[in-house]
Amino acid sequence: MTGTIDYAELTDIKLDPLNPRLGRSINGKNLSQDEIYDRMKDWSLEELATSFLESGFWVHEAVLCVREELDGEQALVVVEGNRRIAALKRLAKTFDGEDTSKRWLEIIAGQTRPDKMFANVPIIVVGSREEIVSFLGFRHVTGIKEWAPPEKAQFIAKMIDDGGLSYRDVMRKIGSKTPTVQRNYIAFCILRQMDDIEDIVVKEVEDRFSVLFLSIRTSGVRKFLNLDPKFEVEPGEVYPPIPKDSIPNLVEFSKWLFGDQENSPVVSDSRQIDKFASVLASEDGLEYLRRVRKPSLDKAYVIAGGDQEEVYDLISTATVNLQEALTTIHFYKEDERLKSISKKMFSTALQIKETLGIE
C-alpha cells in the first residue's frame, strides 16, 4: 500500500456502501449516503466523538480512501475508517442542529464547533481497493479491530470470488491459517445457499454464524450434510456446498442448530457442538431428534451413546489418580480426613462393581 497524507472536507468524504459491517443482506445494495449514515449512526460512535472533541482528529488516524464512481459521479469513498467518519458526520450534524439526540447534545455541550477539524480530515488516497486488501484482512479478520464472524467470512468470500484467489493466497494476504480460510468460505457458501431455501430462517443462522463455522469442523456434521467432498476441491468448485439430495438434512440441521419460527434450537451453546455432531452420527440419536417435538440434546447424546466415552474417561482418570495416590498414601495411615474420603471412595467403587456385575 502506498500513498501520502492529504486533507479533505468532511462533506466531500463518502461512506462506503461496500463496508462489510453493513451486513450481508444490504451490503452493496446501492444505499444512499443518508441510508448508510442512518445504519451507522448507532455504531457506538459516542466514544470516538468525545475523543475527537478532546484531542482532535490526529494525522495518525488518517482514513484510507479510493476515488471511484458513486451515484453516477466520481467520489472520495472511505474504505478503512468508516466509523471515524460517521462519528465526525454525526458530530457535525449535532453542531448544525440536524441531530437532536439528548446524548449527542450532551457531548457537544459547552464546546465550540471544531470547523478546522471538519474542514481538514486527514486521508490517504490509494489507487484501488485491491491495494489495501491485505491491510484490511490483517486488521479486521486476524487483527485487533476484528469484524463480526459473518463479516470476516464475507470479506474472505469476496477476495476469493472477485479476486479468483485460492485459500492459500488468502492465507498469505490476511495472515490466517489455510484451514480457517477454507472453513470460513465454505460456511459462507452454506449461508448463501440457505437464502434460497424457504424452510430456513437465515437471519438466525447469520446472527450465530460462528456456530455454523465451528460445526463444520466436525466429522458428524460434514457426513450428515454430505459436505466432505467440498473440503477436497478448489474454492471455485465449492458452490453449491450442499448437494441437492442432502437439502432435507440441511433444513433439519438448521432447525436443530438455530431454530425456526416454531422451534427453539436444540443447541443453545457453541460448546455443545461436539455433542450435537455425535448425535448426528448416530442413527438412534437422529431418530430421537426427528421423532420428539421438543428434543433435548443431552438426552439425544445419551441415546447416541456419546456419554460412554465420558464414562471411560472418568473411570480411567480415577484409576490413574488412585494408582498415583497409592505410592505415598502409607505416609498418612493415621490421617482421619484421608480415612473418611477413602470410605466414600470404597462405597462408590462397590456400587460400580455391583452395577457392572464384576465378580
pTM equals 0.65
pLDDT the model gives residue 243: 96
* Per-residue pLDDT tens over the stretch 154-184: 889 988 998 899 999 988 887 778 999 999 9
Contact between residue 290 and residue 281 where contact means Cβ atoms under 8 Å apart: no
Three-state secondary structure call for residue 162: helix
Give the pLDDT of residue 123.
93
What span, in angstroms and rounded, lies between the C-alpha atoms of 42 and 28? 20
pLDDT band at 353 (very low <50, low <70, confident <90, very high): confident
Distance CA 67, CA 8 (A): 13
Q: How would residue 138 be classed by pLDDT, with cut points 50, 70 and 90?
A: low
The confidence score (pLDDT) of residue 295 equals 94
Residue 107 has pLDDT above 90, yes or no: yes
Residue ranges of alpha helices (H) inside the chain are 33-40, 46-55, 82-95, 102-108, 115-119, 133-140, 149-163, 167-174, 178-194, 202-207, 209-215, 219-224, 247-258, 273-280, 283-291, 297-303, 307-326, 336-356
Q: How confident is the model at residue 78 (pLDDT cuts 50, 70, 90)?
A: very high
Give residue-wise pLDDT tens across range 2-30: 568 999 999 999 999 988 888 776 655 67
Q: At what angle do helices 178-194 and 167-174 cross, to 10 degrees?
A: 110
Would you call 176 exposed, middle or buried from its count of C-beta atoms within 10 A (0-12, 13-18, 19+)?
buried
Question: Given pLDDT bands bounded at 50, 70 and 90, which one contains residue 242?
Answer: very high
Q: Do residues 300 and 288 make contact, with C-beta atoms less than 8 angstroms apart?
A: yes
